[in-house]
Amino acid sequence: MALVHVTRRIDADPQRVWQLVTDWPAQSRWIPLTRVFIDPDGPSAGVGTRFTGRTGLGPLFFDDLMEVTEWQPPADGAGRCRVVHRGRWVRGWAEITVVPAAGGGAQLTWLEDIRPRWTPRLADPVVAGVGRVLFDGTLAKLAGELSG
């Protein structure tokens, strides 16, 4: 699996950061070429929430099916969520944490252990590098939305 680790300090209250980063459909605004849809047959937040990230252009796309398996909203300012990729095209997991930052604001960390299906282990460093660039851009857009 390719491990992607991105952290960003955001000038916003940790609770606001948590609410936005775990608003799954909102991720459509930050993740390139991706629309996110919540499964209407389940919860919209918390453990058991299922959602799909559809990535592509026009008729060429793939669906990344995900499910929230751990959910700890900020109680003392810190929150943690774990999501498992359950689709045919992407395997692995993601962990999102939001903690108060020294001097104010929040620190958002996105840790993802991912493998696109049919990708050899040899490609893990490339997948991780591309993932870091994409997730760094994603978190920059999210931070911009919170501060703008």
pLDDT tens by residue, 41-92 = 999 899 999 999 999 998 999 999 999 999 999 887 789 999 999 988 899 9
* pTM for this model (two decimals): 0.92
Domains of the chain from N-terminus onward = 2-147 (3.30.530.20)
Question: What is the C-alpha end-to-end distance of the chain, expressed in Å?
Answer: 35
Rounded to whole angstroms, the Cα distance separating 33 from 103 reads: 35
* Structure confidence at residue 148 as a pLDDT band (50, 70, 90): low
